[in-house]
Amino acid sequence: MNTLTQPSEFAALVQRFFTERLLQQQAASPRTVAAYRDAFRLLLGYAEDQCRKSAAQLTLLDINADLIVGFLAYLEEVRHNTVRSRNARLAAIRGFAQYIASQCPPALFIAERILAIPMKRADKPMLGFLSRGEAKALLDAPDRET
């Protein structure tokens, strides 16, 4: 039986990733588990549309780097997610890719390609500061009598 083409194998890996890896081994917080769950809901919905299969019919071969790159673009362009949200979803997918690399050696090439997808750099807002005159104006603004 080829684990890459069996929908039941993919489903079992996803389930074990959540129960064994996240909950038992990593003792992930409920918020982390919920964030990963939401990422997978979105990913599986996207994969259903792209592969024209139900989630129950998806296999490890369907969840490849090309699909993930398309999913990340979908998050930004269609769902208007920020780079930080996109990267959070990718972190969940990368966690799964690391898990499948260790649990399913035939899927190592799929995992490696997914793990090679880079995080996107998020622009950090520039911290502003007040000039000496602006700070003085703020300090002088309140009525000192009240």
Residue at 15 is within a domain: yes
Q: In this model, does residue 3 exceed pLDDT 80?
A: no
Residue at 28 is within a domain: yes
Q: How confident is the model at residue 1 (pLDDT cuts 50, 70, 90)?
A: low
Q: What is the pLDDT of residues 40-97, one digit of tens each?
A: 999 999 999 999 999 999 999 999 999 999 999 999 999 999 999 999 999 999 999 9
Q: CB count, 10 Å around CB of 22?
A: 21
Residue at 1 is within a domain: no
Residue at 123 is within a domain: yes
On the CB side of 119, CA atoms within 13 Å amount to 13
Residue at 145 is within a domain: no
Residue at 130 is within a domain: yes
The parent domain of residue 45 ranges over: 7-140
Do 66 and 47 contact (CB within 8 A), yes or no? no
**Pair of tokens at residue 50:** 């792209």
* Sign for the pseudo-dihedral over CA of 54, 73, 108, 121: negative
For residue 134, the domain's CATH number is: 1.10.150
Which residue's entry shows tokens 């997918």? 93
- For the entire predicted model, the pTM comes to 0.79
CA–CA distance from 91 to each of 28, 87, 118 (Å)?
Answer: 14, 6, 10
pLDDT of 122 reads 76
Residue at 88 is within a domain: yes
Q: What is the pLDDT of residues 91-139, one digit of tens each?
A: 999 999 999 999 988 999 999 999 999 999 877 777 777 888 888 888 8
The tally of domains found in the chain comes to 1
What is the four-CA torsion angle of 38, 41, 45, 47, rounded to 10 degrees?
100
Among the listed residues 68, 66, 59, the one whose alpha carbon sits nearest the alpha carbon of residue 87: 68
Average pLDDT over every residue of 35-41: 95
Residue at 66 is within a domain: yes
